[in-house]
Amino acid sequence: MAEAAIKKIGILTGGGDCPGLNAVIRAAVKTAIIQYGWKVIGIEDGFEGLLKEGKTRPLLYDYVKGIISHGGTILGSSNRGNPFAYKFREGGKIVSEDRSSVLIDKMRSQEIDALVIIGGDGTLSIALRLAKMGVRVVGVPKTIDNDLAATDVTFGFDTAINTATEAIDKIRTTGESHHRVMIVEVMGRYTGWIALQAGIASGADIILIPEIPFNTDTVCTVINERIKSGRNSTIMVVAEGAKPDGGTMSVRMVVEDSHDPIRLGGIGDMVAEAISQKTHIETRVTVLGHIQRGGTPSAFDRTLATRLGVAAVDTLAAGGYGKMVCLHATHIAAVAIENAVSQLKKIPPDGEVVKAAQSIGVSFGK
**pLDDT tens digits for 316-339?**
999 999 999 999 999 999 999 999
**pLDDT tens digits for 290-306?**
999 999 999 999 999 99
pLDDT of residue 341: 92
Mean pLDDT within 121-136: 96
- Residue 2, pLDDT > 90, answer no
**pLDDT tens digits for 35-54?**
999 999 999 999 999 998 88
Domain ranges of the chain: 8-155+297-341, 159-294
Mean pLDDT of the chain: 93
Instruction: Please identify which of the residues 145, 147, 158, 301 carries the catalytic annotation.
Output: 145
Distance of alpha carbon 47 from alpha carbon 50, whole angstroms? 6
Q: Is 145 a catalytic residue?
A: yes
- Cβ-contact 208, 237 below 8 angstroms: yes
Give the up-direction half-sphere exposure of residue 66: CA atoms within 13 A in the CB hemisphere: 2
**pLDDT tens digits for 149-184?**
899 999 999 999 999 999 999 999 998 898 899 999
- Structurally, at CATH architecture level, domain 159-294 sits in 3-Layer(aba) Sandwich (3.40)
pTM to 2 decimal places: 0.93
Task: Place 88 in a pLDDT band, splitting at 50, 70 and 90.
Answer: confident
pLDDT of residue 22: 98
- Residue 258, pLDDT > 90, answer no
Three-class DSSP category at 201: helix
DSSP 292-321: GT-SPPPHHHHHHHHHHHHHHHHHHHTT-T
CATH code 3.40.190.10 for 8-155+297-341: no
Mean pLDDT within 77-102: 88
345 contacts: CB under 8 Å, gap ≥ 6: 146, 147, 148, 149, 191
- Residue 1, pLDDT > 50, answer no
**Phi, psi at residue 28, to the nearest 5°?**
-65, -45
Tell me how far CA of residue 126 lies from CA of 117, 119, 248, 266, 354, in angstroms: 9, 10, 28, 30, 33
Largest interatomic CA distance in the chain: 78
Cα torsion through 224, 353, 211, 201, rounded to 10: 60
Tell me whether the CATH fold assigned to 8-155+297-341 matches the one assigned to 159-294: yes
**pLDDT tens digits for 260-296?**
666 777 899 999 999 999 999 999 999 999 999 999 9
322 contacts: CB under 8 Å, gap ≥ 6: 128, 131, 132, 137, 138, 336, 337, 338
Beta bridge partners, 42, equal 11, 57
Task: Place 254 in a pLDDT band, splitting at 50, 70 and 90.
Answer: low
pLDDT of residue 203: 97
- Residue 190, pLDDT > 70, answer yes
- Cβ-contact 184, 238 below 8 angstroms: yes
**pLDDT tens digits for 7-46?**
999 999 999 899 999 999 999 999 999 999 999 999 999 9
